[in-house]
Amino acid sequence: MKPVIGIIGNSHLINDEYPAFAAGEMNVRAIAEVSDGLPLIVPTGVGTVCINSLMERCDGFLFTGGRPNVHPEEYGETATEAHGAFDRERDGIALPLIRACVSRGQPIFGICRGFQEVNVAMGGTLYPEIRDLPGRDNHRMPPDGTLEEKFALRHAVTFREQGVFHKLMGAQKVMTNTLHGQGIKEAGPRIVVDGHAPDGTPEAIYVQDAPGFTLSVQWHPEWNADADPVSRPLFEAFGAACRDWAAGGIRKSA
């Protein structure tokens, strides 16, 4: 039996008028083809799902990227224009779900917004716009070009020597894409920053002393996940952790 892996969806308007919950096809295919799991898109409307029931039916959760950002009220700050659009429905499901999974040892994997959600859920804060900080680069998606151009490898990520990501990748430095505006300001008390971009932006994290898999990355490994030498190990390791959970065990990420 394949492990059931919940993919956290985003609130979305089809044709700018019809409300829907959606997840990107790249995420679904990465879970199905690389993690070897059964993908299940999870609606994030508060009141539409019971977190405890959801955790009983899924073996792990992928927290995907998304245009709306985590609302700064979730980390004790006031919203400004720089914080951009929000998805409060997703905040209401994703943040408590992350905390519950970490406590229980159930596997989670965070990507981009999901990476930021893990930090916020564990008590961390975010910068509203990385490119506005002195000495930082513009990490946002290029405004023009094909998908191949937008998801192209753009900067290196250097991992902590002999850290979790270094051991998983078999390399201390890798190349990644970058398509995010916000980033970690203060890491949560249990968040270990295990990799950085050249400008110092945190790019790879896990939760210290968590009983289960908690790896998260700021880039988008779902792009070309089956062939990319950086993406594939992440989804394979996550899938293995979900299979262990389905079989009644726990596989730690650190």
Residues forming the active site: 112, 220, 222
- The answer to whether 215 touches 235, Cβ cutoff 8 Å, is no
Contacts of 95 (CB under 8 A, 6+ apart): 70, 74, 117, 120, 121
Report residue 80 as tokens: 């400004």
Long-range contacts of 165-169 (CB under 8 A, 24+ apart): 165/194, 165/195, 165/204, 165/215, 166/194, 168/215, 168/233, 168/234, 168/237, 169/229, 169/230, 169/233
β-pair type (38-42, 4-8): parallel
Cα(220)–Cα(175) distance, rounded to whole angstroms?
A: 12
* Residue closest to 95 by CA, chosen among 188, 209, 19: 188
- The answer to whether 45 touches 11, Cβ cutoff 8 Å, is yes
- The answer to whether 102 touches 210, Cβ cutoff 8 Å, is yes
CB atoms within 10 A of CB 122: 21
CB atoms within 10 A of CB 13: 10
Burial environment of residue 219 by CB neighbours within 10 A (0 to 12, 13 to 18, 19 or more): buried
